Amino acid sequence: MAGKQSEKKYLDPALPLEERVECLVSQMTLREKVAQTQHVAPPIPRLDIPKYHWWNECLHGVARAGNATVFPQAIGMAASFDEDLMHRVADAISDEARAKYHQALKLGELRQYFGLTHWTPNVNIFRDPRWGRGQETYGEDPFLTSRMGVAFCKGLQGEDQHYLKVVATPKHYAVHSGPESLRHEFDAVASPRDMRETYLPAFEACVKEANAWSVMGAYNRTNGEPCCASPTLLQKILREEWGFEGYVVSDCGGISDLHKNHQVTSSPAESAALAVKEGCDLNCGGVYYPSLVEAVEQNLISEEEIDTALRRLFTARLKLGMFDPPESVPYASIPPDKVRCEKHVNLARRMAQESIVLLKNVNNSLPLKKDLAQVTVAGPNAHNDVALLANYAGSSPGIVTPFEGILNSVSVGTQVFYQKGCHLYHDEPVDATERADHMVKPDALVAVLGNTTELEGEEGAGALSDGGGDRLQIGLPGRQLEFLKLLYEHKGQAPLILVVMGGSPIDLSEAEPYADAILFAWYPGEQGGRAIADVIFGDYNPSGRLPVTFVRSLDQLPPFTDYSMEGRTYRFMKEPPAYRFGFGLSYTSFSYNELRIEGESFTTNDLQDNRTIKVSVNVTNTGDRDGDEVVQLYLSDVVASVPVPRHHLEGFRRVHLKAGESRTVSFHLNAEQFACYDEQGSAFLEAGTFRISVGGGQPDDPQAGAVTTESRMVV
């Protein structure tokens, strides 16, 4: 008996982690090891290893596992420009994930979507509005994506010194943003400069700052190498350069692409061997890693190389406390009533409030009064649960649509009419007579239009677009514009408020003249209807900012398949867009003055120079309403020796100011933020003039109130 106990010393939490892992892996047969490299890992009873489903999702709440708080979609959370709130949301999500995991264990065998290894966040760069999965990202800017990604990963994984709360998995590493229809065969070609300046920073931040314990590879190739078997991405950069210690998981079904579509191998055995050798430790989807047994027999891979993958996988499971007594794991005591508790539901409402972007407000049409005699709420998304949820969503019994939110906000004497008005996307006639019956002398009309995940999303996820999930056009779908014009004809003197829902930029150029005010609400989650009503009636002063550029038309963009950053996003696009990255209006106004810089140079060309430059500015709420301002700092290298962005975000801070209140907001810039990149993608500092701009938006936005200064930096 004593001998058997010593064989299972990996169950002793007092022993060093590495010793426990080595003891466990050393006792497994080759077939047992190979079986553990699949996302459905079978039990090994003789070693007291239970079955485990690695695949779980929590993009904006625990997904696909029953009751859970549904927060706004990722792109909406990015519009909050609020790192602290993002961290609190992720902490709430991981609370619910832990509670659901332990409750599922009590009910018997652990099922898929109840595990602790979550494949999120998506920190790909949203470089083109056509991409259906752009909604899953934090937008187009590497700095914003990095900060929100780090906050989310930290919130998920917790702060315990010994245990992970859950595992965060930044994806899809590394250059991946459509087209969806080509993702299994496409080669995303990006220059070394674009790789380092745009596509890699968010992944690096999540790995080095947040210590994310997992990374998911992409389906496509990047510069000729399949991402799930790329020596450059997985070995040279991720592990050797960034010091990543966790495990890599393939995108689901991605290993089959190696031989079926990328054709870099000729069989499942070769594909599995190549992927594991290059650092992909876990196979999601398909049944390709079982062929690793055959691959060992064919000398395509050694058992020791498979052991390396096993060590990484079981290190994660041990760090999650899966083999330890529950009383020694601090997160094991999170109770079931944490799921959709009042605190989390209120947090979802707060995030939805902060995500809403006010794009237009002519003659202060908003906010509306609550004691209006009649309000008409119309449109295909006005009372549509699907428009709130987005993809990778959980299920909530407390969903509040915009119609319901407005109905619950107005006075008891107010009459509220609802009318769907037109189909979301079908080319069906709009019946003017029927619509007019409910539009007699309204005091206000609220049109809720836009997209749902029926029209944009992932390949094979039910998207109805001709682009296989991507959009081929970015205007309002179906006959929504026609319906908006009909509302305009019947509105009389009443304000017409347009609420647009969607996960990506929508061309509103034709719709804009028919709306007195425009709110972009994204896919705002289960409390979206309440948040929209809060903004419409002034209970919350809108403060969201666009995390993506809204182009005027697709003509302003390079071809979808072109991964060069030239001409893309606010950093490299020269033509004026419809709405700028970072833009958003408020019910109050803010002014900036006294921009100050302390410490104007770095004395060496060392990017690791730990000194910083302090930038401070005074911000004043000059209006008559309290509100949040999102202070944004942009940096420009005025005379660079290599191509650089026009300007780039390097700091943001959300501050709440009462009417008339002033506050000093400060940022600290490090040497890396002043770096530029040569043709080989190497970062370097050079002496020159740098322009620093701080305001409520980009320096070229006339409504941002930005103050700007130029400074000579000596290296």
- What are the tens digits of pLDDT across the range 285-324? 878 999 999 999 999 999 999 999 999 999 999 999 999 9
The closest of 668, 562, 561 to 612, measured between CA atoms, is 668
Measure the CA dihedral 518/524/527/528, to 10°. 20
- CA 320/CA 341 separation, integer angstroms: 24
Assess whether 251 carries a catalytic annotation: yes
Residue 349, sorted as left (phi over 0), alpha (psi -120 to 50) or beta, turns out to be alpha
Q: How much is the pLDDT for 432? A: 56
Q: How much is the pLDDT for 490? A: 87
Q: How much is the pLDDT for 710? A: 82
Report yes or no: 690 and 636 within 8 Å, Cβ to Cβ. yes
* In the predicted structure, residue 375 carries a pLDDT above the cut 70: yes
Fill in the amino acid letter for 148.
Answer: M
DSSP three-state, residue 245: coil
Q: Phi/psi at 52 (nearest 5 deg)?
A: -145, 135
Q: How much is the pLDDT for 438? A: 52
Calculate the alpha carbon distances from 287 to 119, 247, 371, 405 in Å. Answer: 19, 19, 61, 47
Q: How much is the pLDDT for 2? A: 46
Please, which pLDDT band fits residue 263 given cuts at 50, 70 and 90?
very high
Q: How much is the pLDDT for 644? A: 97
- CA 546/CA 582 separation, integer angstroms: 5
- By DSSP bridging, strand 52-53 and strand 40-41 are antiparallel
Q: How much is the pLDDT for 294? A: 97
Measure the CA dihedral 199/202/207/208, to 10°. 110
* In the predicted structure, residue 336 carries a pLDDT above the cut 90: yes
Report yes or no: 235 and 162 within 8 Å, Cβ to Cβ. no
* In the predicted structure, residue 462 carries a pLDDT above the cut 70: no
Assess whether 304 carries a catalytic annotation: no
Higher pLDDT among residues 182 and 435, named by residue: 182
CATH fold of 590-713, please? Immunoglobulin-like (2.60.40)
- CA 173/CA 331 separation, integer angstroms: 29
- CA 182/CA 192 separation, integer angstroms: 23
Catalytic residue among 91, 180, 456, 650: 456
Report yes or no: 683 and 625 within 8 Å, Cβ to Cβ. no
Report yes or no: 657 and 638 within 8 Å, Cβ to Cβ. no
pLDDT in tens, 626-655: 999 999 999 999 999 999 999 999 999 999
- CA 273/CA 291 separation, integer angstroms: 8
Which DSSP string corresponds to 16-35? -HHHHHHHHHHTS-HHHHHH
Q: How much is the pLDDT for 463? A: 61
The residue count of the chain comes to 715
Q: How much is the pLDDT for 599? A: 83
Report yes or no: 188 and 214 within 8 Å, Cβ to Cβ. no
- CA 91/CA 258 separation, integer angstroms: 36
The number of beta carbons lying within 10 Å of the beta carbon of residue 489 is: 13
Identify the CATH class of 1-35+168-195+212-319: alpha beta
* In the predicted structure, residue 327 carries a pLDDT above the cut 70: yes
* In the predicted structure, residue 713 carries a pLDDT above the cut 90: no
Residue 547: asked if its preceding bond is cis (omega within 30°), the reply is no
Give the count of alpha carbons within 13 A of 516, CB side only. Answer: 19
Identify the CATH class of 351-565: alpha beta
Catalytic residue among 83, 141, 180, 251: 251
pLDDT in tens, 568-625: 999 999 999 999 999 999 999 999 999 999 986 776 677 877 889 999 999 999 999 9
Q: Report the range out of 409-423, 425-439, 699-713 with the highest average pLDDT.
A: 409-423
Weakest mean pLDDT among 53-67, 259-273, 465-479, 662-676? 465-479
Q: Which residue has the tokens 């002034």?
A: 538
- CA 360/CA 342 separation, integer angstroms: 33
- CA 162/CA 466 separation, integer angstroms: 48
DSSP three-state, residue 51: coil
* In the predicted structure, residue 435 carries a pLDDT above the cut 80: no
Report yes or no: 383 and 403 within 8 Å, Cβ to Cβ. yes
- CA 320/CA 318 separation, integer angstroms: 5
Please, which pLDDT band fits residue 1 given cuts at 50, 70 and 90?
very low
- CA 547/CA 504 separation, integer angstroms: 10
The closest of 228, 208, 205, 210 to 218, measured between CA atoms, is 228
Average pLDDT over residues 119-148: 98
**Domain positions in the chain:** 1-35+168-195+212-319, 351-565, 590-713
- Mention every residue, 6+ apart, whose C-beta is less than 8 A from residue 174: 195, 199, 200, 203, 218, 222, 227, 233, 237
* In the predicted structure, residue 439 carries a pLDDT above the cut 60: no
- CA 254/CA 218 separation, integer angstroms: 7
- CA 31/CA 29 separation, integer angstroms: 5
pLDDT in tens, 199-255: 999 999 999 999 999 999 999 999 999 999 999 999 999 999 999 999 999 999 999
